[in-house]
Structure formats: structure tokens, C-alpha cells
């Protein structure tokens, strides 16, 4: 088990679960990120900045606090 | 008949709206540009219909106030037809909202926008198949170029007249967001064929623009260039215009002599007119045009990405950068845009800090005074100092209000080529506000001040704020411009010329006085319009608290600027 924060840029992961309340869950699903979806980590901003992930044709910036709460597994997926 | 436009953020609803209604809604290539409803009556095929542009919503089960508004309006009000705008290049995402709309008891038309973008990505969309499966009309659209706009509204009129409801089928029953997510993906897989991608420009562009080093270098470069361009263009236009108005004023005064009440008032009116055209507009126009270009390209969310780490230090996340950037245009939309933030604490903090951002009107003061007499570098330094003050204020406020934000979640839109029509329309939309509302006030204020001067009544006003002006080492005459500046910020420059009796400020104010005055004007009390919108968004108490805060900040900042100028000279 890893969080999205522990992944290196360039890797693909599958979302397992969100480690947060209903608020976080509905926020993420609003942006089209659901458990079971594939995320591709594009880049990390320096100095504790956000992560940029590609998910379902959409690019989304996630703050580190949010990324820390996304449980993922390394898996090559499309 | 009333037609509502709804769609996910940044799918081009407002662009479509502006195509039929003329430029009335703010657009920009980032999420959450539209935070209120814009309504317009439009003639379609000989019939007058009302079209409503709703704020973008990812889902009807919404969280941010802007989204909640859209959802409740759709359910409650008299909406006859729903036009669901979907970004065709990302169909799977847009359809999630569509699947929520279909079960509503209203006819829905699906407008697949940005078909040109989908085409560039090599996507072939089977619109007819989708129409059959959804049981609702599906039409292609390129709103930015006006293609397919007529078709969409003719169709809307048709289904609105017949009152024909979209047919219920097996796709419309899901109450669960997760299920809809799956259904939307299935539909997209079924009806979208991926051909060959014709661009990958965007990835390479982001490699540079979001780069840990080059990204920031580029950001600084863009801001510097922007600044230089605004200053350069303004400089080019301002002096000849001023000379022109000087000549006219002399001509207008000739029949009345140079003494007496009428001559004073005419002088005041002419100064008001001249200040609007010759001092404010030369900087305002290029600024708004440039901001429009940056917005439409889609660079602002990249700025949010780059600035997120820094914004965290003042207790906000990167999304709050939008109010800040809008604030440089005008504080009113800046405060309104805080509605896209989910947490009340974030909204309060972002609104308070956004009112400290020098708007275009205050830009006129800084440029007309500091840049004109001390050079563009001094003005640039003042802007950097402004950022520093905002950061320190943010840190202090942040420590008083514990943070509970989940952090940044923000979509990065695709880069888009701005169209001249949209950028020019947008600049005009914002300039018109100045011309129609502020300028008459400016002229009137200038005339009233001239009359006050004639009867020596200004002295009373000046005396009222003398403790303040004295503590800042300013001449007492600047009291009136400061008071009138609360009406409109431009007045603090325009009426300064009236109060000091000359447009050549360099002759009557010393360098530290100019810097101190400009700094104080940069921060103190937001204008009436901003105060009104603060009250509406946050309530009377918060408005008063923010107003008090700005005065304290302005006083402290002006002292620091005063001291710094004395040290540097």
C-alpha cells in the first residue's frame, strides 16, 4: 500500500481508496477521480507544491495534503 | 421561454452565451469564471427567449456555493429547456453531468462543444449513435468560432415548444455517482473512436512552463513583460492626450476668464474628463487586454500550480490565486470569485487579501504618480512591496484562523489559442464598467471639488483627516482626494490634481511624499463597490473587519515605504 505522494513522476497507479471523509471523497469524484481509476503522475512542483496527475483525459493538480490521502497501487494501466 | 446553459467548468458555456447575447458574461480558460447567473433576452427565429448562463458544475451534488447555486436553480426555477454544454474532447467526463440532468423533468439538449479540438486530438464522435442511446438531441458546436450556435438554439426552441421531454431509458436511472462514472465511460467508449493524435504540443509546453526552475523564470518574465507593455503603451498615449486636453481646456475657459465659480467648475469638469481618458484609460486598456490573453490561453491555472506552495505559507492554496489575479483588474470580481472556494475560512481570507491587491484603478495612481515621475522600476518595486505586505498580512491572519483546508484540487485546462473577438470583447466588457459608471462619478467629483475649492470648503474635509495626512508627512490638501477615493480609486489621482491645483505633481510633491501617498492609496479602504460586494458575500461584520484591516495595513505600509524611500534617496 502506498499513497500517491510516494509515487515518482512518470509512474502509473490504480486508485484503491481514499483515506479521508465524505468531503474529500466527493471532491475527488467531482473531478472524475474514482477508486479503480488509473492515474498517471506527470510531475511534482518543488518546495512542497502540488502534484500534476492525468486521469481520464483530464489533468488535475492535487495539493500534497490531498495526494497523501489517495491510496494507490503501482500498476501499469491505461 | 427560458433556456438554461449548464455544463462542467470550462466547457465553454459562457463563450456560447456571449455568442448569442453579445459580451455580457466573463469568460476565461480556467474553472469558475462564472460565479453568478447572467441572463439575456435573445431573438431566435423571430421569437424572444431568455437565456441563462449558469456557473459551471461538475455535478449537481455540489459542494462549492457556485455549484450549489446552479443545481438549485435548475431544479426550482422556470427553466423550459436545458442546454447541456459538453467538451467533446473529453466526452466521458462531461457525460457524467448529462446522466444527472436527463432524469430531471425537463427537455435536455446535448451540445458537443469544441468539436475542432476533438478533431485535432483525432477523436471521431458518433453523435447520432449517442443521440439514440441517450434519447435526447445531440448537436455539434464550436462556440468560440460561432459554428453550430444557431442549430443548438433552434433545436432548443423546437423541443421547448413541443414540451417534449427526453425519453427515459436505461441510462437515466442511476442515483449513484460511481455508477454514473462507469456508465459515462461506457458511453464514451462506445461512441468515440480514437484516431491519430495530431498534437502533443501541450505536454512539451508544460515541460517548460511547469518546470521547477524555468517555470518560475518564465512566470517572472511574463509578469515583467506584461508590466513593461502596460507601462510602455500607456506612456506612449498619455502625454499627447494630456497636451490635447490642456489645449481644449484653455479654449473652453477663454470665454469665461480664469476667475469665478463657473470657470472653476469648467476647469474641474475638464480635468475630470481629461483624467479619465488621458490618465486612466491608457493603462487600463492594455492591462485588461493582456489579462484577457493570459486568461484565454489557460496560463492562470499554471500560475496556480506554480504558486500553490507559496500560497500555503499565507494559509491558502493555489486555487485562491484566481481572486488575486482578477484583483489586479478589479477587486469586485475578485471578491466574487472567492465563491469557488469550498471552505468559508478560505473565502474570508482570500477576500480580505484580494482587496489589498492594487486594482486597475489603483494601477492608474501608481503609474500616473510613481511610474511617471520616478520611472517604471519604482512602480515595479512598489508592486513587489505590495506582494510582500499581502504575504505578511496573510501569515498573520492565517495564524489567527486555524487551517482546515483539504488542499488544492484544480483542473489544468488545455492550452487554447485566444481569439481576438473574445479578448477584445472581454476588455471592452470591463472597460465599459469604468466608462459608464466610474467616469461620470469622476467628472462629477472633480466638479464638486472645484466648487468646494472656490468656497474654501475643502479645508474642512482636509482638517477631518489631517491627523492621518500629518502622520504620513503629506500636505493637508490630499485629504479630500483620499476621502473621495473611497467612491472610486481613480478619484485619488484625479482629484489630487484638482486639490493641488496642477497636473504636474512633481512640482508640488516631494519624492517620498509621492511614494507614501501611492502606497497608502494602494491599501486603504476598498472602493464602495468592493465594500458592497464584500458585504454581500461575507456579511456586514466581515466587511467592517476587512475595511478596518485595510486602514491599519495601509498606515503601516505607508510608513515603511516612506522610511525606505528616505533611506534610498
A61 to B181: CB separation less than 8 angstroms, yes or no: no
Q: How many CB pairs under 8 A join A and B?
A: 105
Per-residue pLDDT, B201:
52
pLDDT for B80 equals: 86
Within 8 A of B342 by CB-CB distance, chain A residues are 27
| Confidence at B546, pLDDT banded by 50, 70, 90 | very high
Model pLDDT for residues B209-221, shown as the tens digit of each residue:
888 889 999 998 9
Q: What is the pLDDT of residue B356?
A: 94
Number of domains in chain A: 1
Helix (H) or strand (E) holding B57: none
Residue identified by cell 465524505 is A22
**Cβ <8 Å between A61 and B304:** yes
Instruction: Indicate if the alpha-carbon torsion angle B303, B14, B142, A54 is positive or negative.
Output: positive
pLDDT number for residue B27: 62
What would you report as the CA-atom Rg of chain B, rounded to the nearest whole angstrom? 26
Q: What pLDDT was estimated at residue B548?
A: 95
Q: CA-CA distance, B334 to B341, in Å (whole number)?
A: 12
Nearest-by-Cβ selection for A56 from B92, B309, B408: B92
Mean pLDDT of B169-179: 64
Residue B171 pLDDT level (bands cut at 50, 70, 90): low
- pLDDT at B556 (0 to 100): 95
Q: Contact A31/B305, CB-based, under 8 Å?
A: no
A23 touches chain B (CB under 8 A): yes
Give me the CATH number covering residue A41.
2.30.30.90
Query: Is the confidence at residue B555, as pLDDT, over 70?
Result: yes
Supply the range of the domain harboring residue A10: 2-74
Whether B198 has a pLDDT exceeding 70, the answer reads no
The cell numbers describing B394, all together, are: 496573510
Q: Which distant-in-sequence residues (6+ apart) come within 8 Å of B463 by Cβ?
A: B476, B479
Please state the rounded mean pLDDT for residues B136-163.
Answer: 84
CA distance A77 to B16: 36
Query: CATH class for domain B2-194?
Result: alpha beta
Q: Mean pLDDT, chain B, as a whole number?
A: 82
pLDDT band at B477 (very low <50, low <70, confident <90, very high): confident
Residue whose entry in the numeric block shows the C-alpha cell 468656497: B455
Cell 501617498 locates to B517
Query: For an interface test with A, which of B206, B305, B343 has the most A Cβ atoms less than 10 Å from its Cβ?
Result: B305
> B462 pLDDT band (50/70/90 cuts)?
confident
Angle, alpha carbons B518-B520-B522 (nearest 5°):
70
Specify whether the CB–CB gap between B363 and B283 falls below 8 A: yes
On whether the CB atoms of residues B232 and B367 are closer than 8 A, the answer is: no
Domain ranges of chain B: 2-194, 214-568
Query: Count of CB atoms within 10 A of residue B66's CB?
Result: 25
Q: For the residues A29-48, what does the mean pLDDT come to? A: 84
Please identify which residue in the block is written with the cell numbers 430531471. B104
Give residue B242's pLDDT band: very low, low, confident or very high (50, 70, 90).
Answer: confident
What backbone phi and psi angles, to 5 degrees, belong to A12? -105, 140
**Contacts of residue A47 in chain B, CB cutoff 8 Å?**
309-310
Helical (H) or strand (E) element with B313: helix B300-313
The reply to whether A2 touches chain B by the CB within 8 Å rule is: no
Report CB contact under 8 Å: B178, A34: yes
Distance CA B488, CA B186 (A): 55
Nearest to B184 by CA among B245, B249, B99, B61: B99
**B10 pLDDT exceeds 90?**
no
Pairing of strands B47-53, B2-7: parallel
Non-local CB neighbours of B294 within 8 Å, separated by 6+ positions: B222, B226, B300
* CA angle centred on B103, ends B102 and B107, rounded to 5°: 50
Residue with cell 446553459: B5
Which of the four pLDDT bands, split at 50, 70 and 90, describes residue B62? Answer: low
Q: What is the mean pLDDT of residues B446-462?
A: 80
CA dist list (Å): B406 to A1, A7, B491: 21, 20, 41
Q: What's the pLDDT score for residue B372?
A: 84
Judge: B308–A20 Cβ closer than 8 Å, yes or no: no
Is residue B40 within 8 angstroms of chain A, CB to CB? no
Per DSSP, the residues of B395-447 read: HHHHHHS-------EEEEPPP-PPPHHHHHHHHHHHHHHIIIIIHHHHHHHHH
A50 with B181: Cβ contact below 8 A: no
Query: Rounded to whole angstroms, what are the CA distances from B43 to B4, B49, B81, B143?
Result: 15, 6, 16, 18
Closest residue in B to A19 (Cα–Cα): B406
User: Among residues of chain B, what percentage have pLDDT more than 90?
Assistant: 12
Binary contact (B407, A60; C-beta < 8 A): no
pLDDT score at B272: 79
pLDDT exceeds cutoff 70 at B335:
yes
pLDDT score, position B519: 94
Instruction: Tell which B residues from 176 to 195 touch A, by Cβ distance under 8 Å.
Output: 177-178, 181, 185
**pLDDT tops 80 at residue B31:** no
For the whole model, what pTM was predicted? 0.71
In this structure, of A5-14, A61-70, B274-283, the range with the lowest mean pLDDT score is B274-283
Give how far the C-alpha of residue B103 lies from the chain's centroid of Cα atoms, to the nearest Å.
35
Question: Is the Cβ pair A31, B92 closer than 8 Å?
Answer: no
CB contact under 8 A, B181 and A31: no
Q: Is the pLDDT of residue B390 over 70?
A: yes
Burial of B369: CB neighbours in 10 Å, binned 0-12, 13-18, 19+: buried
Residue B41 in contact with residue B10, Cβ under 8 Å? no
Rounded average pLDDT over B59-69? 71
Among B150-159, B402-411, B542-551, B556-565, the least confident range: B402-411
pLDDT at B350: 92
- Among A72, A48, A75, which Cα is nearest to A62's? A48
- B506-527 tens-digit pLDDT: 888 888 999 999 999 999 988 8
Q: Report, as an integer, the average pLDDT of B146-150.
A: 84
* A31 burial type by CB count under 10 A (0-12 exposed, 13-18 middle, 19+ buried): buried
Amino acid at each position: 500500500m502506498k499513497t500517491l505522494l510516494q509515487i515518482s513522476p512518470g509512474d502509473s497507479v490504480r486508485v484503491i481508496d481514499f483515506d479521508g471523509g465524505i468531503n474529500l471523497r466527493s471532491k475527488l469524484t467531482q473531478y472524475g477521480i474514482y477508486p479503480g481509476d488509473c492515474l498517471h503522475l506527470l510531475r511534482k512542483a518543488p518546495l512542497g507544491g502540488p502534484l500534476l496527475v492525468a486521469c481520464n483525459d483530464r489533468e488535475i493538480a492535487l495539493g500534497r495534503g490531498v495526494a497523501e490521502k489517495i491510496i494507490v497501487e503501482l500498476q501499469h494501466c491505461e | 421561454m427560458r433556456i438554461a446553459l449548464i455544463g462542467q467548468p470550462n466547457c465553454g458555456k459562457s463563450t456560447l452565451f456571449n455568442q448569442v447575447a453579445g459580451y455580457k458574461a466573463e469568460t476565461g480558460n480556467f474553472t469558475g469564471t462564472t460565479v453568478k447567473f447572467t441572463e439575456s433576452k435573445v431573438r431566435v427565429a423571430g421569437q424572444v427567449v431568455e437565456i441563462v448562463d449558469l456557473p459551471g458544475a461538475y455535478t449537481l451534488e455540489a459542494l462549492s456555493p457556485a455549484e450549489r447555486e446552479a443545481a438549485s436553480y435548475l431544479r426550482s426555477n422556470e427553466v423550459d429547456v436545458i442546454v447541456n454544454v459538453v467538451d467533446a474532447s473529453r466526452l466521458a467526463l462531461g457525460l457524467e453531468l448529462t446522466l444527472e440532468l436527463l432524469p430531471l423533468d425537463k427537455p435536455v439538449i446535448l451540445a458537443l462543444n469544441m468539436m475542432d479540438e476533438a478533431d485535432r486530438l483525432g477523436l471521431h464522435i458518433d453523435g447520432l449513435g449517442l443521440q439514440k442511446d441517450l434519447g435526447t438531441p445531440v448537436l455539434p458546436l464550436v462556440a468560440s468560432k460561432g459554428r453550430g450556435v444557431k442549430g443548438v438554439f433552434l433545436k432548443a426552441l423546437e423541443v421547448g415548444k413541443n414540451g417534449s421531454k427526453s425519453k427515459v431509458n436505461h441510462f437515466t436511472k442511476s442515483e449513484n455517482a460511481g455508477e454514473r462514472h462507469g456508465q459515462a465511460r461506457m458511453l464514451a467508449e462506445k461512441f468515440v473512436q480514437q484516431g491519430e493524435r495530431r498534437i502533443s504540443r501541450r505536454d512539451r509546453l508544460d515541460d517548460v512552463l511547469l518546470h521547477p526552475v524555468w517555470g518560475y523564470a518564465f512566470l517572472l518574465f511574463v509578469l515583467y513583460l506584461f508590466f513593461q507593455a502596460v507601462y510602455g503603451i500607456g506612456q506612449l498615449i498619455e502625454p499627447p492626450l494630456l497636451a490635447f486636453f490642456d489645449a481644449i481646456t484653455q479654449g473652453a475657459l477663454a470665454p469665461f476668464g480664469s476667475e469665478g465659480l463657473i470657470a472653476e467648475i469648467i476647469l474641474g469638469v475638464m480635468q475630470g474628463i481629461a483624467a479619465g481618458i488621458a490618465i486612466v484609460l491608457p493603462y487600463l486598456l492594455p492591462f485588461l487586454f493582456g489579462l484577457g490573453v493570459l486568461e484565454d490561453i489557460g496560463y492562470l491555472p499554471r500560475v496556480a500550480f506554480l504558486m500553490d506552495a507559496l500560497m500555503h505559507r499565507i494559509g491558502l492554496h493555489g486555487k485562491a490565486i484566481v481572486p488575486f489575479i482578477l484583483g489586479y483588474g478589479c477587486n469586485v470580481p475578485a471578491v466574487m470569485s472567492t465563491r469557488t472556494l469550498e471552505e468559508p475560512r478560505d473565502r474570508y481570507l482570500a477576500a480580505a487579501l484580494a482587496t489589498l491587491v492594487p486594482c486597475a484603478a489603483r494601477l492608474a495612481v501608481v503609474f500616473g504618480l510613481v511610474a511617471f515621475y520616478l520611472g517604471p522600476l519604482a512602480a515595479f518595486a512598489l508592486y513587489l512591496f505590495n506582494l510582500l505586505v499581502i504575504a505578511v498580512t496573510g501569515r498573520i491572519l492565517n495564524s489567527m484562523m486555524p487551517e482546515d483546508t483539504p488542499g488544492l484540487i484544480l483542473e489544468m485546462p488545455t492550452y487554447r489559442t485566444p481569439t481576438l473577438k473574445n479578448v477584445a470583447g472581454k476588455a471592452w466588457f470591463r472597460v465599459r464598467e469604468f466608462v459608464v459608471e466610474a467616469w461620470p462619478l469622476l467628472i462629477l467629483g472633480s466638479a464638486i471639488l472645484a466648487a468646494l475649492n472656490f468656497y474654501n470648503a475643502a479645508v474642512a474635509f482636509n482638517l477631518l483627516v489631517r491627523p492621518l495626512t500629518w502622520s504620513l508627512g503629506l500636505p493637508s490638501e490630499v485629504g479630500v482626494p483620499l476621502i473621495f477615493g473611497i467612491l472610486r480609486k481613480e478619484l485619488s489621482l484625479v482629484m489630487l490634481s484638482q486639490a493641488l491645483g496642477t497636473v504636474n505633481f512633481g512640482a508640488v510633491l516631494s519624492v517620498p511624499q509621492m511614494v507614501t501617498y501611492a502606497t497608502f492609496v494602494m491599501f486603504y479602504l476598498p472602493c464602495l463597490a468592493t465594500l458592497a460586494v464584500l458585504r454581500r458575500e461575507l456579511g456586514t461584520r466581515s466587511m467592517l473587519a476587512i475595511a478596518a484591516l485595510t486602514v491599519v495595513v495601509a498606515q503601516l505600509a505607508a510608513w515603511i515605504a516612506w522610511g525606505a524611500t528616505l533611506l534610498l534617496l
